[in-house]
């Protein structure tokens, strides 16, 4: 499938503006998760496209539900990250990539406390494959949307370190800066080049490559922020904006522009890697399920009940958190 640049431009622009109006849903922040899942749909082959397009709203909107769950369900949080620095070894060859071998070496407790995102992506891929095998549209959509979330998280540099919000290096707030503020300000200019989804021979290895590639960006994420802070000055680093009738402290546009330029398209590259990987996983699960025809599902429409349940979960996670989780949005 080929997509013209003009289409890409209008598509990303309209998505950007519709998300930007949802100022209350800030938190790869809400904007990025939705954009990643939505865009991945268009990389799918014809046999899958109609069904996914028909339900694109759900795929997009429920991409953020796993984050709400971090505040509601014990054991959810570690599925979103992996603190590679806590292994204190050469991460490239010392951590066994299979869960079984990693447990033998480190124990379940240690692995869980360091975060388990690559293994969780792999385990979600089995659930999605099963949903395809069972021809269960509700589960196909649920697992597609959710695996999209975890894949997107795995591609974020600050989801691969215990210094996830710059709290260990006096850079509080950098998490939201990188994955929300920059995306909100600059997605409009991104060229989200489309490549068709391709089959993954080794999905677990792909999940590990994602976290390693993200981790390789970490040095520049942190060191460039320090450099730009020195250049712009602490006093011009932040400004105030009206959000939801409240004055909110934000990174100033001037600071964001300088930081974003210095990162040299890094956010855009991670965004594109996420989109491609999400589409690749959806496609691979469908192939592994025996490429079942989705024609009989192409008229399936998500029930009001499912939409409502998703909304309730988001609301509960925001208003009645019962579990303490990493706060990424805090600036200071």
> Which residues bind to Zn ion, rule: CB under 5 A?
67, 80, 153
Among residues 73 and 227, whose Cβ is nearest to Zn ion?
73
Closest CB 49 distance from Zn ion, rounded Å: 27
Closer to Zn ion by Cβ: residue 8 or 73: 73
Specify the residue, 69 or 276, whose C-beta has the smaller distance to Zn ion: 69
Shortest separation between residue 172's beta carbon and Zn ion, angstroms: 19
Residue 39 or 54: the one with the smaller Cβ distance to Zn ion is 39
Strand 246-251, strand 238-243: pairing: antiparallel
For Zn ion, the closer of residues 67 and 184 by Cβ is 67
State which residue, 67 or 225, has the beta carbon closest to Zn ion: 67
Is the separation of the CB atoms in 206 and 277 below 8 Å? Answer: yes
Residue closer to Zn ion, measured from CB, 194 or 208:
208
Ranked by CB distance to Zn ion, the top (closest) residue is 80
Nearest approach, Cβ of residue 151 and Zn ion (Å): 10
Q: Of 136 and 162, which CB lies nearer to Zn ion in the complex structure? A: 162
Contacts 24+ apart (CB under 8 A), 108-114: 112/75, 112/78, 113/78, 113/86, 114/78, 114/82, 114/83, 114/84, 114/86, 114/87
- The vertex-78 CA angle with 74 and 84, nearest 5°, equals 160
């Amino acid at each position: 499938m080929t997509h013209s640049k003009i289409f890409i431009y209008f598509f990303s622009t309209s998505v950007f503006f519709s998300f930007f109006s949802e100022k209350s849903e800030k938190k790869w922040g809400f904007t990025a998760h939705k954009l990643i899942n939505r865009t991945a749909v268009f990389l799918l082959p014809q046999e899958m496209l109609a069904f996914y397009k028909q339900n694109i709203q759900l795929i997009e909107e429920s991409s953020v539900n796993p984050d709400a769950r971090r505040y509601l369900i014990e054991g959810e949080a570690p599925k979103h990250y992996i603190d590679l620095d806590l292994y204190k070894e050469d991460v490239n060859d010392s951590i066994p990539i299979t869960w079984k071998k990693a447990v033998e070496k480190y124990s379940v407790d240690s692995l869980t406390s360091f975060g388990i995102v690559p293994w969780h992506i792999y385990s979600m891929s089995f659930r999605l494959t099963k949903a395809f095998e069972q021809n269960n549209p509700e589960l196909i959509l649920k697992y597609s949307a959710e695996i999209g979330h975890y894949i997107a998280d795995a591609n974020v540099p600050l989801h691969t370190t215990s210094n996830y919000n710059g709290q260990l290096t006096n850079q509080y707030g950098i998490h939201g800066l990188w994955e929300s503020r920059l995306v909100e300000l600059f997605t409009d200019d991104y060229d989200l080049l489309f490549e068709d989804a391709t089959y993954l021979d080794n999905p677990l290895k792909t999940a590990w490559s994602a976290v390693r590639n993200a981790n390789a960006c970490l040095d520049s994420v942190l060191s460039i922020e320090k450099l730009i802070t020195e250049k712009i000055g602490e006093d011009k680093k932040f400004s105030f904006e009206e959000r939801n009738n409240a004055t909110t402290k934000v990174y100033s546009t001037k600071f964001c522009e300088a930081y974003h330029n210095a990162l040299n398209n890094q956010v855009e590259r991670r965004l594109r890697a996420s989109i491609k990987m999400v589409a690749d996983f959806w496609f691979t699960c469908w192939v592994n399920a025996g490429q079942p025809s989705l024609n009989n599902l192409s008229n399936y429409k998500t029930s009001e009940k499912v939409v409502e349940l998703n909304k309730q979960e988001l609301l509960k996670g925001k208003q009645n958190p019962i579990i303490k989780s990493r706060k990424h949005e805090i600036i200071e």
